[in-house]
Amino acid sequence: MTSADRPGGPGDPDLAAIAGDPLPSERQPLSTERIVDAAVAFIDEHGLPGLTMRRLGTELGVEAMALYRYVPGKEDLLDAVVDRMIARMRADADVLDEPRDGWQDFLVRLAHGVRRIALEHPKAFPLVASRPPEAPWLRPPLRSLDWVEVFLTGLLSEGFTDEAAVAAYRAYTSFLLGHLLLEVANHGADVGPLDVLDDEQGTPEGLDAYPTVQRLRAALSQDRAAVEFEESLEGLLDRMTLLRNEHLA
């Protein structure tokens, strides 16, 4: 009888040792990269609240204690998940490290790169807003010193003053975070105090007192996230143009 047939089931390393079976970690060795990839996959499937070191160990076929050789604790694991998501933009061929066709094109590409990460991992994306950044004064979702450097240097090379570049950074990050947190909430992400109405539910109690809202509910419930993202980004770029010109005057 193998460890798969014994109480505890497959993936129990102690039963595997008793039975003489190869340990799961021997069949596919653990690494920090594999653990972080498994954490991202777990969050994508089950959501962030369900992630524990024990459950992640079960997914990998090892005891939770085996993970601590590579990740000191859950907090460090979540930091690594954030780093992995932000680093994914480096592999996005559409995201630039510097402006090539003007700063507007540069920022549009970066914004869509962040949005693609949010849509690819909606349940993990709120971590970008909640995890402690490398420096406490960095603003999500551009929480990496590398990306903040890219952002500011890119704008400065396009004629922004220091003051205008900082103001643009604040406006840009506020736009991205606010829009994308609302969007991933509609994709099932746990975003804490944000409460998104499930359109499949019946009419909420008390809505009869608001006939206009009730009449327009279908229109209000339409998913226009992509259109709104484009429109809001266009408006933001217009405001940033004014900021740039004001500081040049």
CATH of the domain at 169: 1.10.357.10
Give the domain CATH number at 25.
1.10.10.60
Same domain? 16 vs 105? no
Among 132-136, 228-232, 245-249, name the one with the lowest average pLDDT. Answer: 132-136
Same domain? 218 vs 135? yes
Q: Using 50, 70 and 90 to split pLDDT, how confident is the model at 220? A: low
What is the span of the domain harbouring residue 62? 10-71
Same domain? 52 vs 100? no
Domain count, the chain: 2
Check residue 11 and give its pLDDT: 55
Among 28-32, 176-180, 207-211, name the one with the lowest average pLDDT. Answer: 207-211
Same domain? 224 vs 155? yes
Give a three-class secondary structure readout of the chain. CCHHHCCCCCCCHHHHHHHCCCCHHHHCCCCHHHHHHHHHHHHHHHCHHHCCHHHHHHHHCCCHHHHCCCCCCHHHHHHHHHHHHHHHHHHCCCCCCCCCCCHHHHHHHHHHHHHHHHHHCCCCCHHHHHCCCCCCCCCCCCCCHHHHHHHHHHHHHCCCCHHHHHHHHHHHHHHHHHHHHHHHHCCCCCCCCCCCCCCCCCCCCCHHHCHHHHHCHHHHCCCCHHHHHHHHHHHHHHHHHHHHHHHHC
| Averaged pLDDT score across all residues of the chain | 83
pLDDT tens digit string along 54-67? 999 999 999 999 99
- Global pTM reads 0.76
